[in-house]
Amino acid sequence: MSGNGLSYSEQGGEAAPELGQEAATTTTPSIPAAFGLFCSDIKKNEDLKQMLESSKDSAKLDAMKRIVGMVAKGKNASELFPAVVKNVASKNIEIKKLVYVYLMRYAEEQQDLALLSISTFQRALKDPNQLIRASALRVLSSIRVPIIVPIMMLAIKEASSDLSPYVRKNAAHAIQKLYSLDPEQKEMLIEVIEKLLKDRSTLVAGSVVMAFEEVCPERIDLIHKNYRKLCNLLVDVEEWGQVVIIHMLTRYARTQFVSPWKVSFSLEDNFCEKNFYESDEEQKEKDQKVKDTYTMDPDHRLLLQNTKPLLQSRNAAVVMAVSQLYWHLAPKSEAGIVSKSLVRLLRSNREVQYIVLQNIATMSIQRKGMFEPYLKSFYVRSTDPTMIKTLKLEILTNLANEANISTLLREFQTYVKSQDKQFAAATIQAIGRCATNITEVTDTCLNGLVCLLSNKDEIVVAESVVVIKKLLQTQPAHHGEIIKHMAKLLDNITVPVARASILWLIGEYCERVPKIAPDVLRKTAKSFTNEDDLVKLQILNLGAKLYLTNSKQTKLLTQYVLNLGKYDQSYDIRDRTRFIRQLIVPNEKSGALSKYAKKIFLAQKPAPLLESPFKDRDHFQLGTLSHTLNTQATGYLELSDWPEVAPDPSVRNVEIAESAKEWTGILGKPKKEKPTEKFYSESEEEEDESAGTNSSGRYLESNLHLRCLENCIFRTDHYFKRIGKISVPTKTHELLHRMSGKGLAAHYHFSRQPGIFGDRMVSVQVTVTNTTDHKIENIHIEEKKLPSGMRMHEFSPIECLEPAGSVTVSVGIDFCDSTQMASFQLCTKDDCFNVSIQPPVGELLLPVTMSEKDFKKEQGMLTGMNETSTAIPVAPQNSTRLVVIEKLVKAANLGVVPSGQDNIHRFAAKTVHSGSLVLVTVELKESSTAQLVINTEKTVIGSVLLRELKPVLSQG
């Protein structure tokens, strides 16, 4: 707004620019009348602003609705940004949503102000409701402000391991957004993609493959391990995801499997309509024959098998995607099954028809048999739009053969008479193509075309002439009659192309019509000046040819024409005239060339090929934008050729056995079905079950989803196995001094035993000693004052402790990953003593083992805010590897990561409660210092741990 104020105050020549917003209001009245338009605009926006600042939600909502209306119409509403952005935290959902809409539209233009809203989203990212987390991520990632890239990266990483598949889906979408905002994040994003590709949820699959295609389509290696899973999930993915996955898998399969075509080549000949009525058994038989030489990779078969049901989808894009997959990947004998579905799509909207017909046109050139049984489905209706008509015609022409040509020609006769002249002309071309392709009907076609020469419509006649010319050229033997007929037509035809064609024909075959040719030249010489350029050139041509063959009759005429041409307005014609004159009229200057003039002009010319315009499209993948446009679109990914030798198929093997065992242990029940078996593939037995009870197949599936979730929760477990060997610190801490405990003393130490009482508990060993001279009875724990979230597992009461006796018991405490004290009362039969246990941060960890590579990878994901580091002094005696490890492991419960470098020591652990990774790196430097780096999401733990580990290496 201040910008506005500035510009207008200059106009008004008063109020200082610094007045900003106020200036706008004060100067408004003084704006000259010419600014009336803007003036009212400002006023309008003023009242919007007031409404936005009102305390009533209804006024705010009204204002937001009007603003969105402006945005929708494409009017500029950016000056309202500050007023709108204030409402980002509104309690009213609709206001909030509309603010989001506004924000996404204008954040790019108002980057500084947009930052004000970021904290709201950051807060929402932690919301317990998954839908709120998801929508926060969605909006945050849609704000195209480069400064927030690190925040987005962090949010994406976090969301990618969210428990809710819906949030993970949104994380996959956010990857693309971040990539387009800052391509330099590619490497880190690929890691997230890699992680999400492993996801088993059908919700995520489509979105992450989309992200993969956008960010790193070249990293085909990421797909190997997920290939089978994607194939199996495919039927249950939502339709849009299916399209993307199928296209990606097509590309993948072309790099990984060998061609199924080479061997089936011999079969291609008898591959015909028969195919469509074949049952599956027959097809299998056929496969058997092929199998002698070629065995299809089971993974290749899996893909074909799992995509086949999708041909039945209601979504045209899915059907097309499967069709192209079969076209590019299936053995030629199997590709036929797609034609029926493609033909079905022709009932759909005009636009769908257009694309499908284009693809059928390309297919029908290469494999006629596929669509022959559906010939009649391509018959043209008078109500079709012209572009659909011409495409259908194209396909009909491609499908024409000896058997059906007579039916087709009858059909074409109707089309030629169509009121749509453009289409009629296309039909004539089609007839021409049929005539050249099928020799039996050439004469019939030619006669038919000659009949059309007497048509009333000029366009039809012209097109016929052009096509006849081409046809005659292919077999000039005995068509003198037709040429004579056409020469007669010359008087009536005015379309330049047709006239030019006739002239060319007469010139070319002037020796067959010796009497007519000179007369034609005479007539055209008369009208030369009024002709079109195209015709003029052909008149010159005709003249030249006649001059060479029949100079007696035509010498003068030709020279007359050449003189006319010499002074023509068009330089093309003047140029041609000069050229021809030099060539045919002998004079001293003309060189050797004129001797060969006759040979040059009357050489045997190759006949033009009448080809389909779809001939060259097959090098584009079917169903793509590039195929439709017949040029390579930006971002088109070439389909590679089949490899000669298949790459190692074992890369796709996934070890599920081990992890499966682990799940069953966790779930406490044996797995009934494979996790990949889904809705459409459910077995009969389950079906019966679902019919009988009131559950359905879908419920079974939801169990599966639950399992997937659990899988995610426990994933960290089987990624990083906990370490077996643990060094236990000997240090004990005092819990209760004997003086304050009336003779009862208690000590505790951390046993580092992994969760005896539960996964999230730290086990503490408490040693209770009786220093009195009488028995102490019933020692137990009471009145736990634990901070919220903490839990404690008590020891069972000690009934009796003899004098000077001591007992060691175990307690489990869930510290919730904080260093807060756990306070409770240690009671005897008579007294109660307040005691508390404060854990050193090093004991809140559980060691994990991982490889150096995994470590680096995880570390790469925990940078930025998640990293703390410091330089620490190192005593000289502590610089050997063994000592460093010993000291650190003693100070904190860390697992040692094997390291390739002598001076770098790595340790990994996870927090007991939440299982967040804690990575510790010690890099020894010269002059007895070292760099200590800690990476963890739990920044508090990280910094406390750093503080605690600091002195460890400096002490002797």
Among positions 55, 279, 349, 788, the unique one binding other proteins when judged by CB under 8 A: 349
- Say if CB 138 and CB 174 are below 8 A apart: yes
- How many whole angstroms separate alpha carbon 624 and alpha carbon 324? 9
**Closer residue to other proteins in complex, CB, 4/202:** 202
| Contacting other proteins within 74-103 (CB under 8 A) | 74, 92-94, 97-98, 100-101
**Closer residue to other proteins in complex, CB, 56/599:** 56
- Say if CB 150 and CB 115 are below 8 A apart: no
- How many whole angstroms separate alpha carbon 753 and alpha carbon 763? 6
Judged by CB under 8 A, how many residues of this single chain contact other proteins?
115
Binding of other proteins by 369 (CB under 8 A):
no
- Token pair belonging to 692: 């009988």
Binding of other proteins by 788 (CB under 8 A):
no
**Closer residue to other proteins in complex, CB, 687/831:** 687
- Least distance from C-beta 935 to other proteins, angstroms? 30
Among positions 377, 771, 819, 929, the unique one binding other proteins when judged by CB under 8 A: 377
| Contacting other proteins within 580-619 (CB under 8 A) | none
How many C-beta neighbours within 10 Å does residue 42 have?
A: 19
- Least distance from C-beta 189 to other proteins, angstroms? 14
All residues at 6 or more sequence positions from 443 whose CB lies less than 8 Å from its CB, including other chains: none
| Contacting other proteins within 456-495 (CB under 8 A) | 456-457
**Closer residue to other proteins in complex, CB, 8/378:** 378
Q: Which segment (481-489, 490-498, 510-518, 622-630) binds other proteins by CB under 8 A? A: 622-630
Among positions 11, 474, 628, 870, the unique one binding other proteins when judged by CB under 8 A: 628
Binding of other proteins by 207 (CB under 8 A):
yes
| Contacting other proteins within 549-578 (CB under 8 A) | none
**Closer residue to other proteins in complex, CB, 386/834:** 386
- Least distance from C-beta 230 to other proteins, angstroms? 17
Binding of other proteins by 199 (CB under 8 A):
no
| Contacting other proteins within 822-861 (CB under 8 A) | none
- Token pair belonging to 805: 């006796």
Q: Which segment (15-23, 44-52, 152-160, 412-420) binds other proteins by CB under 8 A? A: 412-420
- How many whole angstroms separate alpha carbon 911 and alpha carbon 891? 15
**Closer residue to other proteins in complex, CB, 302/821:** 302
Nearest to 367 by CA among 440, 442, 282, 265: 265
Binding of other proteins by 709 (CB under 8 A):
no
Among positions 473, 690, 819, 820, the unique one binding other proteins when judged by CB under 8 A: 690
- Say if CB 372 and CB 272 are below 8 A apart: yes
- Least distance from C-beta 278 to other proteins, angstroms? 15
Nearest to 950 by CA among 863, 871, 859, 847: 871
Binding of other proteins by 417 (CB under 8 A):
yes
Binding of other proteins by 421 (CB under 8 A):
no
Among positions 264, 418, 524, 541, the unique one binding other proteins when judged by CB under 8 A: 418
| Contacting other proteins within 740-759 (CB under 8 A) | none
- How many whole angstroms separate alpha carbon 606 and alpha carbon 701? 67
**Closer residue to other proteins in complex, CB, 454/529:** 454
| Contacting other proteins within 315-334 (CB under 8 A) | 315-317, 319-321
Nearest to 337 by CA among 365, 307, 301: 307
- How many whole angstroms separate alpha carbon 771 and alpha carbon 264? 92
Q: Which segment (311-319, 468-476, 920-928, 933-941) binds other proteins by CB under 8 A? A: 311-319
**Closer residue to other proteins in complex, CB, 69/643:** 69
Binding of other proteins by 354 (CB under 8 A):
yes
Nearest to 257 by CA among 231, 284, 295: 295
Among positions 73, 589, 605, 725, the unique one binding other proteins when judged by CB under 8 A: 73
- Least distance from C-beta 373 to other proteins, angstroms? 8
Nearest to 357 by CA among 380, 329, 334: 380
Binding of other proteins by 633 (CB under 8 A):
yes
- Least distance from C-beta 37 to other proteins, angstroms? 19
String marking each residue 713-732 x if it binds other proteins according to CB under 8 A:
--------------------
- Token pair belonging to 550: 């029949």
Among positions 61, 216, 267, 708, the unique one binding other proteins when judged by CB under 8 A: 61
Among positions 46, 191, 531, 701, the unique one binding other proteins when judged by CB under 8 A: 701
The full DSSP string for 595-656 is: GGHHHHHTPPPPPPP---TTGGGGGSPTTSHHHHHTSPPTT--PPPPPPSSPPPGGGG----
**Closer residue to other proteins in complex, CB, 629/654:** 629
- Token pair belonging to 210: 């989309």
How many C-beta neighbours within 10 Å does residue 401 have?
A: 14
Which amino acid is located at 915 in the chain? G
Give residue for tokens 């257009």: 354
Binding of other proteins by 695 (CB under 8 A):
yes
- Least distance from C-beta 299 to other proteins, angstroms? 22
All residues at 6 or more sequence positions from 904 whose CB lies less than 8 Å from its CB, including other chains: 921, 922, 923, 924
**Closer residue to other proteins in complex, CB, 74/668:** 74
Q: Write out 552-604 in H/E/C secondary structure.
A: HHHHHHHHHHHHHHHCCCCHHHHHHHHHHHHHHCCCCCCCHHHHHHHHHHCCC
- How many whole angstroms separate alpha carbon 912 and alpha carbon 93? 38
Bridge partners of residue 809, in order along the sequence: 766
- Say if CB 241 and CB 206 are below 8 A apart: yes
| Contacting other proteins within 225-244 (CB under 8 A) | 235-236, 238-240, 243
All residues at 6 or more sequence positions from 238 whose CB lies less than 8 Å from its CB, including other chains: 202, 203, 206
Binding of other proteins by 171 (CB under 8 A):
no
Element (H, E) at 800: strand 798-801
Distance of CA 363 to the CA centre of its chain: 26
The pairing of beta strand 845-847 with beta strand 798-801: unpaired
What is the gyration radius of the CA atoms in the chain, in angstroms?
Answer: 42
**Closer residue to other proteins in complex, CB, 493/544:** 493
> CA dihedral in degrees (679, 681, 685, 691; nearest 10)?
30
- Least distance from C-beta 89 to other proteins, angstroms? 16
Binding of other proteins by 864 (CB under 8 A):
no
- How many whole angstroms separate alpha carbon 46 and alpha carbon 489? 76
| Contacting other proteins within 657-686 (CB under 8 A) | 679-682, 684
Q: Which segment (36-44, 283-291, 351-359, 848-856) binds other proteins by CB under 8 A? A: 351-359
**Closer residue to other proteins in complex, CB, 31/637:** 637
Q: Which segment (118-126, 261-269, 700-708, 723-731) binds other proteins by CB under 8 A? A: 700-708
Q: Assign residue 758 a region: left if phi > 0, alpha if psi is -120 to 50, beta otherwise?
A: left
- Token pair belonging to 509: 């075959």
Among positions 455, 808, 819, 929, the unique one binding other proteins when judged by CB under 8 A: 455
- Token pair belonging to 106: 């204008």
Q: Which segment (221-229, 364-372, 493-501, 696-704) binds other proteins by CB under 8 A? A: 696-704
**Closer residue to other proteins in complex, CB, 101/149:** 101
- How many whole angstroms separate alpha carbon 325 and alpha carbon 722? 45
String marking each residue 111-150 x if it binds other proteins according to CB under 8 A:
------------------xxxx-----x--xx-x------
